[in-house]
A and B are shown apart, each in its own frame.
Chain A
Amino acid sequence: MFLNNILFWIIATPFLAAFAVKLLPVRVAIKAGMLFLLAQLTLCGVIAAPVFSSKVLYLVIKNIFFVADPLSFVFGITSVFIGVFIYLFAVGYFAEEAPREQQKFAFWGLVFVGSMMGVVFSDNLISLYFFWELAGLCSWRLIGFYRKDEHLLKADKAFLITSAGAGFMLLGFAYIYIITGSMSISQIMNMQVSPFVFALVFLGVLTKSATLPFHTWLPDASVAPTPVTSFLHAAVLVKIGVYGLARLFGTTLIVSGNVMWAGYLALLSSFAAGVIAMRETDIKRILAFSTVSQLGFMVAGLMVFNPIATRGVVIFYVAHALGKGCLFLCAGIIEKFFGTKDIKQMGGLMKKAPLLTYAFLFSMLSVAGFPPLPGFYGKLETITGMLVGGHVFYGLFAILTSALTLMYMMRLFSNVFMGDGMEIKTERKGFAPMGVAAVLLATSSLVLGVMLVL
């Protein structure tokens, strides 16, 4: 029962913290948010051992179930972990902003993390949908953070696309209820649903995790401040789609028909985004297309319905979250360094910021799948699962996409870090917490990789 209470506090902490930062003095808002997230991370650490010893934790609040099992726990703790570093980064990033803006970021970021907690620990489809939409709402507020007209347009686009998808998903949930007679995920285990129901839910997943026809909102959302984009790409928003798919169709429901098209769509998205990233010149857009590409890979890995591939996707999710989180934080620092987002105008950062270079390089290699970094194990298991499941084409596509990832990442790296030195505006304050956050994330990536190899 004690552990179940902890599960309650894990879900409740971000929401309580969000209101606490509204009450606290505005200057300490982000720091307070970071401390709250650290507390939450500690709580997650407490339930880690029982969860992984396959003791599933249940929490019942007025007919709404919350469950912590290894899958949801991994997704939850990763978001909180990265959230801590994003808040640390934001301390430096927003150092020159008005304190009220800082408080707004702290508030909405915490609600964002809280809605992620709600999604991953929900055992009920309706509560899952509720938190799913809450996350969409937060993303709308955060993408249009500075309230400029063009930012608002992009925010509207993101919100409209994701919530339209979520509407279809709700329809799918209704069908699931009609077929199975239950809204509780733990009660509909191993039941069969038709491909049509799958397609409805998959629409929600596609829009949320930015796959091919619905992917354009994610690169556009890179107009947001860097901590926000980092949240969107690494910690919270787009990973909700992957989680939903892994939870509903990776471990729970069984699709009675052939849904290979879904995997091919994801792979196509993955490949197309990789090729587009070769062309873009805006550093954040390149990283955003990279996220689209990696998400397509993850969705395709889930679409082979193979336990090895599913495990690989979960590992790759963690690796990508750490790596891409760090890359976005680095991109934020680089943007502040050069005062531009255009990679053609950058160069020679290697000599001026060696630690940042290594952080960027290792995160990049992790995302591209170089051993002994964690991204490699994710890709290895996913592709193994694809081949074992007999989907050799999936594997070939995934390998080609990995190769593309390496190419555009190295292009980005060479443009930003190598070459001749540029004028750098180092007058800004607040570089210390930003650098520390990025380097710590890269280090945790390395540590995770070494832990996986041992």
Chain B
Amino acid sequence: MNINVWFLPVVISFGIALVHIIFKRAGRNVRRWISLIGAIGALGACLYSMFINYNVLSSGEILGLVFAALISFIGLFSISYSQWYNPEANFVYDGLLFLFLGGMFGVVLSHSLIALYIYWEIMTVASFFLILFKDTQESRRASLKYIVMTGVGSMFLLFGILGAWMVELNILWKHIFFACVLIGTGVKMGLFPLHTWLPDAYTAAPTPASAMFSGVMVKTGIYTLIRFYFAIFQPSWSLGWDAIMMVIGVITLLGGVFLALIQHDIKRLLAYHSISQIGYIFLGIACGTQIGLVGALYHAINHAIFKSLLFLGAGVLIKETGSRNLEDYGGLAGKLPLTFGVMTVAALSISGVPPFNGFVSKWIIFQALLAKNTGFSVFALVAALLGSVLTLASFIKVLNDSFMGVRKAKVSVPTVGKSPFMSIPLVLLAVGCLLFGVFPGFVTERFLFPSIGEYLLLNISLIKMASFYGWLAICFIAVIFILSRRWIKGVRKTSVFVGGEILSAEDTAFDGAHFYGTVKDIAPLKRFYSAEVSGMLDIYRRGLQFLPRIGKCVRAATVNAVNAVYEKGSVFLSKWVERLRLLQNGYLAKYLIWFFAGLIIIMEVIRR
């Protein structure tokens, strides 16, 4: 393997970050091209490395390279998009993006776990500053929460890494170390009890950065977990974890999607969907079988594509209306046809509709759950299917609220200009959604199977079948399209009358947000929602309330008690010392008695 090429993406990213800091006074155009050339260079380095090293790589290295390529693609698209989105961003922002990219490349390309951890923390600190970048009250809170939760998580990861490095351990400690790894990576992935930083951070960060967070940063957690689970902790001994991981996956999946249903903030909604999709990936890993792993990896790749597409599309909406609230949108389809198209593709993709990529990977994960055939896995399968349906329901709300209906007059912001920096990434990502859905065999056979190692047990035809369904769906859509062109002559538009009065379009429009508002009142979900809103489930906020209370008790037990001992002791001592003064009352006769007594004692001692 050519080691010089191997770390080129890391070197390029850090180098470009340094260039941005050095040439901080350079013009906007210069910095834009530095960024783009850097991102393209990193992408090229990844692909070149993959090309020249392909035959000599071990399975783990292929896995790393697949993730590196994914990171460089999403990174390039986000950086290109951010040239349109925040053109006024300063050198700090550009430098941070590349520092962040370099950290992620380092995580997936390192050969040593300690190096992985170091890059992991570089990534954490860079993303902390990215969340902080807007410097509003919201972003300050979110970044703080982010750094505390992920920082604590990464310390657990470090402990897991050190534990994995020690081989001679009994099984109990191995379980504890695995739990540490799971906590460490789970915080980064957003597994359910540890997910609470994620909606806040995604909402507060600049949109291109949110796309990178959701698209690829979360994936580094998945990469690390897979490396641990399959390479270091063998699935054979961790059998007991399958059921636990599956339950966690199901909770993450359903919790994320149920919380997404009631959101009005588009970025927050996407963040909760991100959690839910991580649940799918985690279910795939939890199967512990090769097909499950292929499904998880493929879903990770696909999720990166469609979720970053969704975030970038949401960024267009935010830029257009100046608001993140879904209720402020409406009727934007005519104005933003490209965004409408790509968002529809992404929404169908995330809901698992053929022929898009989300369907294929979910299909593989469902197959894996079926093949596993335990009680938990069948339960998980049902939950996963339900999750898919709810995802679709939630995205219909998004599409309806933002693109259909009438334009709300609340927000009036001048229309933003079009730019190839924005449209090319969107189109390419949408094309990616389709291609990965129609030709799943290319990535899975060429990159994912080798990265798992042995794949004799794997039934490839299952995946081919997904491709078949994709083609079927395309044919179906094409037929409907052709027929509809022939049969439907045109849309009839007419006014709405109530009591002879013509109602305005705004009055008759039905708001998706209100329609889905009823979900909140479903009996079992009501408590869940109120708990989440009030922060009951927020492990960070609970911890911040809980720890100072403990601190008060500990302080009483140690500091105050010890101080009391010192004070009482000194009072006691001085009282007794006071009594000794009786011996020293100033009369010569008494001193003479002491003198003679001492003399007698000394003489007695000397005599013996």
Among A13-21, A201-209, A338-346, A403-411, the stretch in contact with B? A403-411
Say which residue of A388, A399, A410 sits within 8 Å of B159 (CB atoms).
A399
16 residue pairs A–B, Cβ–Cβ below 8 Å: A157-B566, A216-B563, A272-B557, A272-B558, A279-B548, A370-B121, A370-B125, A370-B151, A376-B118, A380-B114, A383-B159, A384-B165, A396-B176, A399-B180, A403-B155, A418-B140
How close is B567's CB to chain A, nearest CB, in angstroms? 10
* B562 sits at the interface (CB 8 A): yes
Residues on B with beta carbons closer than 8 Å to the beta carbon of A418? 140, 144
Interface string of B549-592 (1 = CB under 8 A from A): 01110110111001100100000000000000000000000000
**Are A216 and B159 interface neighbours, CB within 8 A?**
no
* B602 sits at the interface (CB 8 A): no
A365–B550 Cα distance when bound, in Å, is: 24
Q: A213-B562, A371-B118 are in contact. Are A403 and B152 (CB under 8 A)?
A: yes
**Are A216 and B158 interface neighbours, CB within 8 A?**
no
A368–B144 Cα distance when bound, in Å, is: 15
**Are A380 and B155 interface neighbours, CB within 8 A?**
no
A216–B550 Cα distance when bound, in Å, is: 18
A130–B581 Cα distance when bound, in Å, is: 32
**Which residue from chain A places its CB closest to the CB of B546 in the assembled complex?**
A278
**Are A275 and B551 interface neighbours, CB within 8 A?**
yes
How close is B21's CB to chain A, nearest CB, in angstroms? 13
How close is A246's CB to chain B, nearest CB, in angstroms? 22
**Are B151 and A276 interface neighbours, CB within 8 A?**
no
Residues on A with beta carbons closer than 8 Å to the beta carbon of B552? 279
How close is B104's CB to chain A, nearest CB, in angstroms? 15
A215–B562 Cα distance when bound, in Å, is: 9
B: which residues have CB within 8 A of A? 114, 117-118, 121-122, 124-125, 135, 137, 140, 144, 147-148, 151-152, 155-156, 158-159, 162-163, 165-166, 169, 173, 176, 180, 543-544, 547-548, 550-552, 554-555, 557-559, 562-563, 566
How close is A91's CB to chain B, nearest CB, in angstroms? 31
**Are A407 and B148 interface neighbours, CB within 8 A?**
yes
How close is A151's CB to chain B, nearest CB, in angstroms? 16
Q: Give the size of the chain A interface in residues (CB under 8 angstroms).
A: 46
Residues facing B in A349-386 (CB within 8 A) are: 350-351, 365, 368-372, 376, 380, 383-384
How close is B535's CB to chain A, nearest CB, in angstroms? 17
Residues on B with beta carbons closer than 8 Å to the beta carbon of A144? none
A404–B548 Cα distance when bound, in Å, is: 11
**Are B559 and A371 interface neighbours, CB within 8 A?**
no
A418–B163 Cα distance when bound, in Å, is: 37
A384–B158 Cα distance when bound, in Å, is: 10
Residues on A with beta carbons closer than 8 Å to the beta carbon of B135? 350-351
Say which residue of B151, B159, B544 sits within 8 Å of A396 (CB atoms).
B159
A214–B156 Cα distance when bound, in Å, is: 30
Say which residue of B117, B118, B176, B562 sits within 8 Å of A216 (CB atoms).
B562
How close is A363's CB to chain B, nearest CB, in angstroms? 14
**Are A276 and B562 interface neighbours, CB within 8 A?**
no
Residues on B with beta carbons closer than 8 Å to the beta carbon of A310? none
**Which residue from chain B places its CB closest to the CB of A399 in the assembled complex?**
B159
**Are A407 and B152 interface neighbours, CB within 8 A?**
yes
A31–B181 Cα distance when bound, in Å, is: 51
* A402 sits at the interface (CB 8 A): yes
Q: A279-B548, A407-B148 are in contact. Are A395 and B159 (CB under 8 A)?
A: yes
**Are B159 and A407 interface neighbours, CB within 8 A?**
no
* A84 sits at the interface (CB 8 A): no
**Are B140 and A272 interface neighbours, CB within 8 A?**
no
**Are B118 and A414 interface neighbours, CB within 8 A?**
no
Q: A365-B125, A370-B121, A388-B166 are in contact. Are A216 and B559 (CB under 8 A)?
A: yes
A418–B140 Cα distance when bound, in Å, is: 7
Q: A387-B165, A419-B137 are in contact. List 19 more A-B contacts (CB 8 A).
A: A161-B566, A215-B559, A272-B554, A275-B551, A276-B551, A278-B550, A351-B135, A370-B125, A371-B117, A371-B121, A372-B121, A380-B114, A383-B158, A387-B166, A395-B159, A395-B162, A395-B163, A403-B156, A420-B137
A399–B166 Cα distance when bound, in Å, is: 16
Q: A279-B551, A407-B547, A414-B140 are in contact. Are A384 and B162 (CB under 8 A)?
A: yes
**Are B155 and A402 interface neighbours, CB within 8 A?**
yes
A219–B118 Cα distance when bound, in Å, is: 33
Interface string of A120-150 (1 = CB under 8 A from B): 0000000000000000000000000000000
Q: A272-B558, A395-B159 are in contact. Are A419 and B140 (CB under 8 A)?
A: yes
**Which residue from chain B places its CB closest to the CB of A213 in the assembled complex?**
B562
Most chain B beta carbons < 10 A, residue from A278, A369, A376, A402: A278
* A49 sits at the interface (CB 8 A): no
**Are A216 and B566 interface neighbours, CB within 8 A?**
yes
**Are A279 and B555 interface neighbours, CB within 8 A?**
yes
A157–B562 Cα distance when bound, in Å, is: 12
Interface string of A209-222 (1 = CB under 8 A from B): 00011111001000
**Which residue from chain B places its CB closest to the CB of A417 in the assembled complex?**
B140
A342–B551 Cα distance when bound, in Å, is: 17
Q: A276-B554, A371-B117 are in contact. Are A410 and B176 (CB under 8 A)?
A: no
Residues on B with beta carbons closer than 8 Å to the beta carbon of A280? 551
* A453 sits at the interface (CB 8 A): yes
Most chain B beta carbons < 10 A, residue from A161, A383, A387, A453: A387
**Which residue from chain B places its CB closest to the CB of A279 in the assembled complex?**
B551
A369–B162 Cα distance when bound, in Å, is: 15
**Which residue from chain B places its CB closest to the CB of A414 in the assembled complex?**
B144
**Are A399 and B158 interface neighbours, CB within 8 A?**
yes
Q: A216-B566, A276-B555, A453-B118 are in contact. Are A406 and B148 (CB under 8 A)?
A: yes
* A277 sits at the interface (CB 8 A): yes
How close is A119's CB to chain B, nearest CB, in angstroms? 26
How close is A265's CB to chain B, nearest CB, in angstroms? 12
**Are A372 and B118 interface neighbours, CB within 8 A?**
yes
* A392 sits at the interface (CB 8 A): yes
**Which residue from chain A places its CB closest to the CB of B151 in the assembled complex?**
A406
Residues on B with beta carbons closer than 8 Å to the beta carbon of A419? 137, 140
A404–B543 Cα distance when bound, in Å, is: 11
A277–B559 Cα distance when bound, in Å, is: 12
Most chain A beta carbons < 10 A, residue from B147, B158, B563: B158
**Are B559 and A276 interface neighbours, CB within 8 A?**
yes
**Are A380 and B158 interface neighbours, CB within 8 A?**
yes
Residues on B with beta carbons closer than 8 Å to the beta carbon of A277? 551
Say which residue of A278, A370, A403 sits within 8 Å of B548 (CB atoms).
A278
Residues on B with beta carbons closer than 8 Å to the beta carbon of A161? 566
**Are A410 and B121 interface neighbours, CB within 8 A?**
no
A453–B119 Cα distance when bound, in Å, is: 12
How close is B53's CB to chain A, nearest CB, in angstroms? 25
Q: A275-B554, A396-B159, A399-B158 are in contact. Are A372 and B547 (CB under 8 A)?
A: no
Q: A216-B562, A418-B140 are in contact. Are A387 and B162 (CB under 8 A)?
A: yes
A213–B163 Cα distance when bound, in Å, is: 32
Most chain A beta carbons < 10 A, residue from B173, B557, B562: B562
A299–B156 Cα distance when bound, in Å, is: 22
**Which residue from chain A places its CB closest to the CB of B152 in the assembled complex?**
A403
Say which residue of A219, A351, A369, A413 sits within 8 Å of B559 (CB atoms).
A219
How close is A55's CB to chain B, nearest CB, in angstroms? 32
A216–B125 Cα distance when bound, in Å, is: 34
A403–B152 Cα distance when bound, in Å, is: 5
A9–B557 Cα distance when bound, in Å, is: 47
A412–B447 Cα distance when bound, in Å, is: 47
Residues on B with beta carbons closer than 8 Å to the beta carbon of A407? 148, 152, 543, 547
Residues on B with beta carbons closer than 8 Å to the beta carbon of A453? 118
CB-CB nearest 8 A-B residue pairs: A279-B551, A371-B118, A403-B152, A278-B551, A399-B159, A418-B140, A278-B547, A275-B551
**Are B162 and A212 interface neighbours, CB within 8 A?**
no
A157–B552 Cα distance when bound, in Å, is: 23
Residues on B with beta carbons closer than 8 Å to the beta carbon of A275? 547, 550-551, 554
**Are A276 and B558 interface neighbours, CB within 8 A?**
yes
A385–B442 Cα distance when bound, in Å, is: 46
**Which residue from chain A places its CB closest to the CB of B156 in the assembled complex?**
A399
How close is A414's CB to chain B, nearest CB, in angstroms? 5
Residues on A with beta carbons closer than 8 Å to the beta carbon of B124? 370
